[in-house]
């Protein structure tokens, strides 16, 4: 504390009763107090409380309140206090705003997710929501996160929302992030998964009406979050949940047998639960944002609207923390299932498991996020290596399943003179840096777990990666999955694209763009290094 001014407090004590002492320390100073002299201060750390003002330079903050035994023989003691903090410098604090709206359809139409469904939705199991969190740093950086209980956001909707938010609120795409939960019990949207279901004109009309209403509701929710900003502190941490299960490398039907034999599941998974916390200056929990990399498809034989296990987790957290909003984002989970699954009870258990992981992060050490925000964004072109020929489409089109509907539609487009695109020209990649240390990458499409694991190796283990972000257009394989092939290597017929295989360098193109953006938002060494001290909010 040699850089601080000493504040001499004369203390006259009549007994050995503990004296309440509050210390506000910078991260470098946040160490247990030690015994010296005649044991004026007990050698014990101070539990942290998130109620102090931000420290100079945006380095984070922590406050400890403890009972300090003081000897009757002592005439006084010295407490070092950071004068900038004591002066109450509130300029270096975050601002936040949060809003939400129910988006459960009131009409019954087709649900997005499972191609095996035979009919439209029959009712509601639990409500769907769109939620928006706006954060603003004193340096002028503003970020807007919009989460939604949807299987994905199609490109037309992403483009419309981005353009309108920029027009109304002057935020470009780098600062706007849409995160779909990928629930398989949400609504089909216009021009999304267009060939999976046998849609008739009445169903298309219901879907179009809902899609227009959804767009307006998402814009209104974003506007409310941006308009309601107030002071806050941000904290980053992580929990762990072990129910992700690599569905390419394991047979889910044999999972119980594997467990009995003591065999570990094969293949990579990401069990990390990233947690971003927003608290009021007084320490009250206001918003908790969390993610997980596993398909939101625990209800795999369901015809009622539901947010699946992600909805269970959000409701559990909001119930335990009244007044706080809980928001979920999907990780890189295209090749991951949430298990065990198949019933409402199992879905409930998965959600409670995830909520417990978030609670463990809330209870444990969390890193204060210094008040600065930087954002980067790129569209990257991903080429198609192979596309279906006219003859192949004619053969596939003779069937009766969704692949046949896809093939017949493409055949009609060819017959009308349409030339197929040779690539997906605008694949969205986004990087945010919150404070000094928290790197948060967002990738479009159904991204496999290899991407999250790669970027954690390259940029540090605390890196977060959101999949299914902004535009969900197809499965996005790593080079490993591309070589292996099969469903998660593309699934173009599910998403309606005129392709049968991505280019072999799809991972390299994405990773190269991510690296450019990481350099743009901050130095690599600063991003990969966690601060050595943590605080418990």
431 falls within a domain? yes
Average pLDDT over residues 235-258: 94
Pair (69, 142) in one structural domain: no
User: Could you tell me where the beta strands, DSSP code E, fall in 137-173?
Assistant: 142-148
Pair (80, 226) in one structural domain: no
232 band by pLDDT with thresholds 50, 70 and 90: very high
Mark out the alpha helices in 321-401 (DSSP H runs): 344-363, 390-396
CA 47 to chain centre: 28
What local confidence, expressed as pLDDT, does residue 488 receive? 85
Three-class secondary structure of residue 221 per DSSP: helix
Check whether 267 has a pLDDT greater than 50. Answer: yes
Q: Going by C-beta distance under 8 Å and a sequence separation of 6 or more, which residues neighbour residue 37? A: none
Whole-angstrom distance, CA of residue 291 vs CA of residue 239: 10
Pair (487, 394) in one structural domain: no
What local confidence, expressed as pLDDT, does residue 56 receive? 29
Q: Going by C-beta distance under 8 Å and a sequence separation of 6 or more, which residues neighbour residue 17? A: none
537 falls within a domain? no
Domain limit, last residue, from 52, 86, 120 = 86
Closest CA to 349 of 392, 316, 318, 389: 316
Pair (399, 509) in one structural domain: no
Pair (143, 201) in one structural domain: yes
Average pLDDT over residues 95-124: 96
What local confidence, expressed as pLDDT, does residue 537 receive? 54
Pair (79, 225) in one structural domain: no
> Residue 94 has which token pair?
């975050």
pLDDT in tens, 2-59: 333 333 233 333 333 333 333 333 333 333 333 333 332 223 232 332 332 232 233 2
Domain limit, last residue, from 86, 107, 137 = 86
Check whether 347 has a pLDDT greater than 90. Answer: yes
Check whether 515 has a pLDDT greater than 90. Answer: yes
Lowest model confidence (mean pLDDT) among 53-57, 158-162, 529-533: 53-57
Phi/psi of residue 130, each to 5°? -110, 135
What local confidence, expressed as pLDDT, does residue 211 receive? 98
What local confidence, expressed as pLDDT, does residue 295 receive? 97
Closest CA to 431 of 465, 458, 399, 462: 465
Residue 275's domain comprises 94-377+424-528
Pair (76, 24) in one structural domain: yes
pLDDT in tens, 495-505: 999 999 999 99
90 band by pLDDT with thresholds 50, 70 and 90: very low
DSSP bridge partners of 277: 235, 288
Residue pair 354/238 in contact (Cβ under 8 Å)? The answer is no
pLDDT in tens, 396-443: 999 999 999 999 999 999 999 999 999 999 999 999 999 999 999 999
Higher pLDDT: 234 or 139? It is 234
What local confidence, expressed as pLDDT, does residue 331 receive? 98
Check whether 153 has a pLDDT greater than 50. Answer: yes
515 falls within a domain? yes
Pair (22, 81) in one structural domain: yes
Arithmetic mean of pLDDT over the chain: 84
Closest CA to 471 of 212, 187, 180, 274: 180
Using CA atoms, how far residue 351 sits from 191, 308, 358, 363, in Å, is: 30, 8, 11, 18
Domain limit, last residue, from 37, 54, 86 = 86
Residue pair 52/61 in contact (Cβ under 8 Å)? The answer is yes
535 falls within a domain? no
What local confidence, expressed as pLDDT, does residue 48 receive? 33
Pair (416, 428) in one structural domain: no
Pair (348, 495) in one structural domain: yes
523 band by pLDDT with thresholds 50, 70 and 90: low
382 falls within a domain? no
User: Could you tell me where the beta strands, DSSP code E, fall in 241-344?
Assistant: 244-246, 272-279, 285-292, 304-305, 325-330, 336-338
Pair (398, 449) in one structural domain: no
383 falls within a domain? no
Pair (256, 279) in one structural domain: yes
Whole-angstrom distance, CA of residue 366 vs CA of residue 535: 6
DSSP bridge partners of 134: 97, 144
352 falls within a domain? yes
The pTM (predicted TM-score) of the whole model is: 0.82
283 falls within a domain? yes
Check whether 454 has a pLDDT greater than 60. Answer: yes
Q: What is the DSSP string of 408-453?
A: HHHHHHHHTTPPPPSEEEEEEEEEEEETTTEEEEEE-SEE-HHHHH
Average pLDDT over residues 212-237: 98
Q: How many domains does the chain fold into?
A: 3
């Amino acid at each position: 504390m040699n850089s601080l001014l000493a504040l001499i407090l004369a203390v006259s004590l009549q007994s050995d009763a503990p004296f309440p002492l509050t210390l506000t320390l910078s991260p470098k100073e946040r160490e247990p107090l030690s015994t010296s002299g005649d044991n004026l201060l007990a050698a014990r750390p101070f539990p942290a409380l998130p109620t102090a003002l931000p420290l100079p330079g945006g380095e984070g903050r922590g406050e400890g309140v403890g009972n300090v035994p003081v000897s009757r023989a002592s005439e006084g003691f010295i407490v070092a206090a950071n004068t900038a903090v004591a002066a109450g410098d509130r300029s270096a604090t975050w601002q936040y705003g949060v809003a939400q709206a129910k988006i459960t359809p009131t009409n019954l139409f087709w649900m997005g997710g499972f191609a095996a469904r035979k009919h439209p939705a029959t009712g509601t199991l639990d409500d769907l929501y769109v939620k928006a969190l706006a954060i603003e740093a004193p340096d002028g950086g503003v970020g807007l996160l919009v989460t939604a209980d949807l299987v994905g956001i199609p490109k037309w909707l992403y483009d419309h929302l981005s353009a309108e938010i920029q027009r109304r609120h002057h935020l470009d795409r780098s600062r706007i992030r849409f995160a779909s939960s990928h629930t398989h019990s949400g609504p089909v949207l216009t021009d999304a998964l267009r060939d999976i279901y046998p849609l008739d004109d009445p169903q298309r009309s219901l879907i179009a009406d809902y899609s227009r209403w959804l767009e307006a509701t998402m814009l209104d929710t974003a506007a409310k979050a941006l308009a309601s900003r107030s002071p806050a502190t941000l904290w980053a941490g992580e929990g762990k949940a072990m129910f992700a299960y690599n569905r390419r490398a394991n047979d889910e039907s044999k999972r119980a047998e594997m467990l009995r034999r003591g065999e570990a599941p094969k293949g990579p998974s990401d069990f990390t639960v990233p947690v971003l916390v927003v608290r009021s200056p007084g320490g009250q929990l206001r918003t908790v944002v969390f993610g997980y990399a596993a398909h939101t498809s625990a209800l795999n034989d369901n015809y009622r609207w539901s947010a699946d296990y992600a909805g269970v987790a959000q409701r559990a957290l909001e119930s335990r923390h009244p007044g706080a909003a809980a928001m979920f984002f999907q990780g890189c989970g295209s090749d991951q299932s949430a298990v065990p699954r198949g019933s409402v009870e199992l879905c409930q258990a998965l959600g409670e498991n995830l909520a417990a992981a978030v609670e463990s992060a809330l209870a444990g050490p969390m890193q204060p996020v210094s008040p600065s925000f930087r954002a980067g964004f790129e569209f990257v072109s991903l080429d198609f290596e192979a596309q279906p020929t006219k003859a192949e489409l004619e053969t596939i089109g003779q069937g009766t399943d969704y692949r046949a509907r896809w093939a017949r539609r493409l055949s009609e487009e060819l017959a009308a003179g349409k030339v197929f695109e040779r690539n997906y020209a605008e694949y969205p990649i986004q990087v945010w840096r919150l404070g000094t240390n928290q790197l948060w990458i967002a990738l479009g499409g159904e991204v496999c777990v290899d991407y999250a694991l790669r970027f954690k190796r390259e940029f540090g283990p605390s890196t977060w990666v959101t999949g299914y972000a902004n535009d969900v257009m197809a499965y996005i394989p790593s080079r490993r999955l591309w070589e292996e092939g099969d469903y998660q290597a593309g699934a173009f017929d599910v998403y309606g694209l005129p392709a049968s295989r991505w280019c072999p360098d799809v991972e390299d193109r994405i990773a190269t763009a991510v690296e450019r953006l990481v350099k743009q938002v901050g130095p690599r060494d600063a991003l990969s290094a966690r601060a050595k001290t943590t605080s418990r909010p």
